[in-house]
Amino acid sequence: MHSALIPARYILAGLGSIAMAIIYGLKVNLSVAMVAMLNHSALAHHGASGVAAKEHVNAEPVCQGSNSTEAVEDGPFIWSEPVQGIILSCYFWGYLVSQVPGARVAESFSARWVMFFSVLINVVCTLLTPLAAKMHYVAMIVMRVGEGIGGGVTFPAMHVMLASWAPPNERSVMSAIVYAGTALGTVISMLMAGVLAGTLGWESVFYVMGGLSCLWMVLWLWLVQDTPTKQALISQEERDLITSSLGTGSANGHNEPKPPVPWRKVFTSAPFYGILIAHVCNNWGWYMLLIELPFYMKQVLQFNIKENAVVTAIPFLTMWFFSMALSKTLDALRTRGKITTTIARKTATFIASAVPMVCLLALCYIGCHRGIAVGLMTLGITAIGGMFCGLLSNHIDIAPNYAGTLMAITNSAATLSGIIVPIFVGQITHGNQTIGAWRVIFFVTIGLYIVEIIAYTLLASGEEQPWNKGDKPASSIEAAEAEATPLNTKESKHNYNGQDQ
């Protein structure tokens, strides 16, 4: 039995990480492939503000250096810059609308099947992308919206899975394993898409990456179930370990009807607002460092394209290693009773916000020192990995029954940052690619990081909230607590369970 070699819960975490890598990889591959898909010569000839033409519109950068624009072979499509922008951004339209409904389906029925269909939708849309592109750009928009709908449910669904599978004293590590897949998926996709487009043509980006993702679907259905009690490929010892630590016993949580979401109590909960504010502010910094900082390196510091690709890829790997090490350290300290869950979450979130904040502040004053800029960017992005075992794990702590819904709400709000950041940067730097303009951008981000640190430190908690039991009358809650007294007494002796004493 495979569980003798690798625990079933870590098979779940590993496949969950690959799923997140697939979703993020299939999301960003179009950004790379589009360079090979566009007919840059025609766009420049017709006066359209295409990708190749745009680079020459900007004001003269302040730093001197080689920013050689390599020759790019023309593709078949003459999509204007506004059309390119719509195609790239419409992913978020589907992403925003699917999160809360997807979370409720995952909580009420099956998170396993929600994750499966999430990847399936992305694979189908990816495989159909070359055909859609040749039909009309509107068909491309439909494919991207479909991918967004599938991608939107992944975080909520995985939160539901982790709430059922992760022992509280391993929650940080398992969450970090799963969600760090987003970083690995991004860098692998960027590198793969570039190689495939350059050697086999732009269509191969979608056929190869979509085809390889099909293997995951087979493994997911074979090796993963919604709960340990439904899982056949698991040792009885591991099943007992998980169910006893979570207080689920032999009961199957998914067979019991869960109470409706207590919306009023959720939206009057201080710990929930701590997560919400931190998620929005941290995502702003995430998009700023991962999407906009490479533009700063290219347009202001004058890195050439090859240098920029390498510099952009390295921090994703260091982020992955750092998030694994930090989560393991925090879980070990919690297991030994050295820190509470609340302290662990606040520590990880503080690292994920304070370090990037200091790096951005330093970037404002280093001038044209490219080596220092690369080091600061790498350090800042690496530290952001702390959010995987910080605020992103916190929904499960405060309300495991509604972890998917809470994640859907905060992630929907945080996704708006991904839409606003490019617009904001574009407005500030339009015709003004200078260090001074970027200082304004960086200082706004620094201000949001300060808001995140203050809000999360004051409001966040690692304790399960009373409303996790639903919107029940007080008498019902008291009766339920009375019945659970033996379990609670047992758990209180082991404060490593993740419930702060």
* Domains within the chain, CATH numbers bracketed: 7-42+73-234 (1.20.1250.20), 262-467 (1.20.1250.20)
Q: What is the pLDDT of residue 471?
A: 59
State yes or no: pLDDT of 117 exceeds 70: yes
pLDDT digits (tens, 9 = 90+) for 10-44: 999 999 999 999 999 999 888 888 878 888 777 77
What is the rounded CA–CA span in Å between residue 334 and residue 393?
Answer: 14
pTM: 0.82
Q: What is the dihedral of CA 401, 478, 487, 396, to 10 degrees?
A: 20
The Cβ of residue 158 has, within 10 Å, a number of other Cβ atoms equal to: 30
pLDDT digits (tens, 9 = 90+) for 477-496: 444 434 433 333 343 334 43
**Residue 434 banded pLDDT, cuts 50, 70, 90:** confident
Q: What is the pLDDT of residue 64?
A: 64
pLDDT digits (tens, 9 = 90+) for 275-313: 999 999 999 998 887 777 767 776 777 765 455 566 667
State yes or no: pLDDT of 427 exceeds 50: yes
Q: What is the pLDDT of residue 32?
A: 80
**Nearest of 476, 317, 468 to residue 381 by alpha carbon:** 317
Q: What is the pLDDT of residue 472?
A: 54
**Nearest of 385, 396, 416, 448 to residue 99 by alpha carbon:** 416
What is the rounded CA–CA span in Å between residue 278 and residue 455?
Answer: 7
What residues pair up with 77 in beta bridges, in sequence order? 38
The DSSP call for residue 385 is G
Q: What is the dihedral of CA 221, 222, 227, 233, to 10 degrees?
A: 180
